[in-house]
Amino acid sequence: MALVAALALVLLLALTLGSVSLPLDRALLALFGGGSAGDRIVIWQIRLPRVLAAGLVGAALGLSGAGLQGLLRNPLAEPGVLGVSASAALFASATLYFGLAVAGPLTLPLAATFGALAATGIVAAAALRTRSVVTLILIGVGLSSFSAALMALLMNLAPNPFSLADMVNWMLGTVANRSAQDLLFAAPFLIAGGALLFGARRGLSALTLGEEAAEGLGLNLRRQRVLIILGAGLATGASVALAGSIGFVGIVAPHLVRPLVRHDPAKVLLPAALLGALILMAADIGVRVLPTDSELKLGVVASLLGAPVFIWIAARRRLIA
């Protein structure tokens, strides 16, 4: 309930704050169809789609991170660990490199989603063939590294500075200039991914006892892995299609809420999604109000906030000296 109340407060702040502030009464009036035409345009076509995009992306990343951490039983796991984020960004970058993005406004998000689904299919197929979690992680790391190398190659061979700038902007992540059409495109994939993750939540609780004990309780490990991987892949692919590459939210949000639900992986999913949405919505407000010559990218701000927390988590796990 505290997270829901905080989300409502941040949503109101996002509608009032920006390059030009709107009083709360004018923002609410425009939100419900009143006020001036200019106020309605600012609220309905600029600020509301932007804050909703940030919330959906944060929720998708937080939920995916919670599901993967429960599956792999590792608090340092996040959507990028399976190579889904990098593959989605690679396909989007290839679309920009070859100039295919001019074909239509949905070409870029379609390419990103297809890249995410391709990586998800590879990892899901591996999950059906192996019983080792380590093997899944290694496959994900390999996909991520290969995709990153290909993206670097595309950026190195960019035919003109404009293509390079577009690829860099995509890699840095942003929800600026998002429209209701973008939200409607991403929503089905986010809903499907979330449904798969929530549908497999009970299996995550069983996995806390270990894989052998979970199987003894009747859990189908292969089915559990496929459900979590497909759910995380769909949700992450939609988030990359909507906002580009944004890191660390999938690690930080589940970790912060885990002690509040007694470390039960099944109970982490919903609050992790809410906190992920809250983090990115608040970060996007900061992006808009910071007095910089050009607007900072949301992915940069998220990394600046998330990286210190990641280091803290790793230090507590004694993974670094």
Query: Which CATH number does the domain housing residue 309 bear?
Result: 1.10.3470.10
- Tell me whether residue 4 is in a domain: no
pLDDT at 212: 81
Say how many C-beta atoms besides its own lie within 10 A of residue 101's C-beta: 18
Domain interval for residue 60: 23-316
Say how many C-beta atoms besides its own lie within 10 A of residue 166's C-beta: 20
- Tell me whether residue 151 is in a domain: yes
List of the chain residues with pLDDT < 50: 319-321
- Tell me whether residue 33 is in a domain: yes
Could you give phi then psi for residue 290, rounded to 5 degrees? Answer: -65, 135
Domain count, the chain: 1
Taking the C-alpha atoms of residue 62 and residue 224, their distance in angstroms, rounded to an integer, is 19
**What is the residue type of 184?**
L
pLDDT at 317: 62
Specify the residue for token string 């990286």: 307
pLDDT at 225: 84
Taking the C-alpha atoms of residue 79 and residue 67, their distance in angstroms, rounded to an integer, is 9
pLDDT at 318: 57
- Tell me whether residue 89 is in a domain: yes
- Tell me whether residue 262 is in a domain: yes
- pTM score of the predicted model: 0.89
